[in-house]
Amino acid sequence: MRRTLKALVFFAGLLLAWEAVCLARIWSPVLVPSPVSVGRYLWEAANDGTLGSATVVTLRRLVLGYCFGLAIGLPLGLLTARFKVVGDTLGLLALGLQTLPSVCWVPLALLWFGQTEAAMFFVVVMGTIWSVIIATENGVKNVPPIYARAARTMGSSGLHTWLRVLLPAALPFIVGGMKQGWAFAWRSLMAAEIYVTILSGFGLGHLLHYGRELNAMEQVIGIMLVLLLIGLIADKVLFSPWERFLHRRWGTAK
């Protein structure tokens, strides 16, 4: 409760400082809109539905692509750790592609898929998958061998060992990889939305882009706030439970 209060005070202070800067008229209000005008934009955009529908479009793209990337990346990561051939081939490829800034997939996606949802999906999947593969592989390789040996003496083998011992033992690494994958996917999706108009749906990135085109700074800043909020909520809702789980079980602040 105390922590929430402190956070509230901090953000209220930030808002006040912002308002004070605007009132002092150091910069033109076109470049630095006041929090009130940003708030007004957000209120109107929320009321006429543009904000809601753009958020839905963006989140749908993100969640679909991310879940798909996870569903493919996890098993591929396990295979990479399990089979030397896969590690030497796919593992190396994943390591290389993971270092590639995920925005770099946008031009390729546009050439391959045109201005379609498929292009967006592709960009998000590419942002997710390599981090997840690398993290899963790393995690499994770092599992103390004694766990698998102990499990073997108790009659575990094959798939059972993989699903019941190696996978959970690698969880601290995997959650880290999932988080990184999410961050990469989120960033590349925004880049794609800002630079590419896709007729199948207006996302938050498009609103940001049009804000710039129309010189509507309060729209740009308003959308940035929404993006920031989504990032925060995703972190708290998606990853905090996992991290609490890890903390409780492993006794670490991973």
Partner 1 sequence: MTLQTEVQNEASSKLSVQHVSKTFRSRARVVHALDDVSLDVGEGEFVCLVGPSGCGKSTLLNIIAGLDLADGGRVLTDGAPVAAPGRDRMMMFQESALFPWLDVLSNVLFGLKLKPGLDAGERRKVAEFYLKLVGLEKFHRAFVHELSGGMKQRVALARALAPNPRALLMDEPFAALDALTREQLYGDLQRIWQERKKTIVFVTHNVREACCLGDRVVLFSPHPGRIREEFKIDLPRPRDINSVDLARYSTRITAALKNYARPESGAELVEVAE
Interface residues with partner 1 (CB under 8 A)?
A: 144, 146-147, 149-156, 160, 164-165, 168-169, 171, 248-252
Q: Which is nearer to partner 1, 141 or 149 (CB)?
A: 149
**127 touches 188 (CB < 8 A):** yes
Q: Which is nearer to partner 1, 101 or 168 (CB)?
A: 168
Q: Which is nearer to partner 1, 236 or 249 (CB)?
A: 249
**91 touches 129 (CB < 8 A):** no
Least distance to partner 1 from the beta carbon of 24, Å? 54
Least distance to partner 1 from the beta carbon of 149, Å? 6
**Using the 8-state DSSP alphabet, how is residue 49 labeled?**
S
Least distance to partner 1 from the beta carbon of 168, Å? 4
Q: Which is nearer to partner 1, 164 or 236 (CB)?
A: 164
Least distance to partner 1 from the beta carbon of 251, Å? 3
d(CA 119, CA 137): 27
- Environment class of 206 (CB within 10 Å of its CB; exposed 0-12, middle 13-18, buried 19+): buried
Q: Which is nearer to partner 1, 166 or 216 (CB)?
A: 166
**132 touches 77 (CB < 8 A):** yes
Residue labelled with tokens 């409780």: 248
Least distance to partner 1 from the beta carbon of 243, Å? 14
Q: Where are the beta strands (DSSP E) in the chain?
A: none
DSSP element (H, E) containing 222: helix 217-234
